[in-house]
Amino acid sequence: MAILRFRFSERPELWDRIVGLSAEVWPEYNRHGDVLNRYWDRLYPEFPDYQFVLYDESADEVLAEGHTIPVAWSGVPDDLGPGIDASIVAGFHLRETGAQPTALCALAAEIPPRHRRRGLAPVLLAAMADIGRAAGLPALIAPVRPSWKERYPLTPIDRYVRWVRADGAPLDPWIRVHTGMGAAIGPALPESMRITGSVHEWEAWTGMAFPESDRYVFPGGLAVVDVDREKDLGAYWEPNVWLMHTLG
């Protein structure tokens, strides 16, 4: 199997084949970010060299999609910022001001369930690193959504990211892919991505009923959603953790 990488700037027609990819990958609620959704569609026309797919040439099939954006970072972990919302805003601001980026920020690695046992996660990360190197950027940083955090929604993210297996490797599989490729674990991000909606919207997104104002665990959530029926508001902060790769 020959896996090729194509940027949006090279083969935009490939994206016509994966219109529903995000719906396959993410829980419904996760596709309604207050900040992220204002910018997401602009990534393709404004950062076409930083969006890419993995393509199986023999099967003529798109296997996965990656999203990145160049940002400015001092190289100090404490300067990474509060998470993915702030990072995408900063990336667009950097472009608008004409300032020079100093790092590549990963925004999403999307592998549909049917392809998840094909070892594509490190291939996606390697592709991101190559894009960063080609742009002359010394670091790849990622506000990572830990894949097993939904199993422990009541555990604070700063504790969860410290959990390890008996062999000392991180318990979380996605964090483990990053560290296995040399990444260092950075600050935990309890408020990385904001998602708000009406009570009706949250009930539709989660398939649950929220009969009274309270904090609720819900399917696929990495933390709880705060429901206020008087305000007709459900509010959620998605937690992430920074992973930092040095690009030699």
Mean pLDDT of 82-98: 98
Q: Give domain status of residue 226, yes or no.
A: no
CATH number (domain holding residue 112) = 3.40.630.30
Q: Quick one: pLDDT at residue 216?
A: 98
Q: What pLDDT, in 10s, does the model give residues 3-38?
A: 999 999 999 999 999 999 999 999 999 999 999 999
Q: Give domain status of residue 197, yes or no.
A: no
Token pair belonging to 122 = 């490190």
CB atoms within 10 A of CB 201: 17
Q: Quick one: pLDDT at residue 21?
A: 93
Q: Classify residue 170 by its DSSP letter.
A: B
Q: Give domain status of residue 230, yes or no.
A: no
Q: Give domain status of residue 203, yes or no.
A: no
Write the DSSP string, 41-110. GGHHHHSGGGEEEEEETTTTEEEEEEEEEEE---S-GGGS-S-HHHHHHHHHHHHHHTPPP-EEEEEEEE
Q: Give domain status of residue 219, yes or no.
A: no
Q: Give domain status of residue 224, yes or no.
A: no
User: Is the confidence at residue 53, as pLDDT, over 90?
Assistant: yes
Extended strands (E) in the chain: 3-7, 51-56, 61-71, 103-110, 139-144, 184-197, 214-216, 225-228, 233-246
Range of the domain at 118: 3-190+240-246
Q: Quick one: pLDDT at residue 248?
A: 82
Angle between helices 173-180 and 120-134 (to 10 degrees): 50
Q: Give domain status of residue 228, yes or no.
A: no
Alpha-carbon distance of 212 to 217, in angstroms, equals: 14
Q: Give domain status of residue 227, yes or no.
A: no
- How would residue 222 be classed by pLDDT, with cut points 50, 70 and 90? very high
Is residue 170 within 8 Å of residue 185, measured between CB atoms?
yes
User: Is the confidence at residue 120, as pLDDT, over 80?
Assistant: yes
Alpha-carbon distance of 97 to 114, in angstroms, equals: 41
Mean pLDDT of 137-165: 98
User: Is the confidence at residue 233, as pLDDT, over 80?
Assistant: yes
Alpha-carbon distance of 158 to 146, in angstroms, equals: 12
CA nearest 138: which of 13, 8, 24, 246? Answer: 246
- Who contacts 45 (Cβ-Cβ below 8 Å, separation ≥6)? none
- How would residue 1 be classed by pLDDT, with cut points 50, 70 and 90? low
- How would residue 2 be classed by pLDDT, with cut points 50, 70 and 90? confident
Q: Please count the structural domains in the chain.
A: 1
Mean pLDDT of 160-174: 98
- How would residue 55 be classed by pLDDT, with cut points 50, 70 and 90? very high
Q: Quick one: pLDDT at residue 24?
A: 95
CB atoms within 10 A of CB 42: 12
Mean pLDDT of 103-113: 97
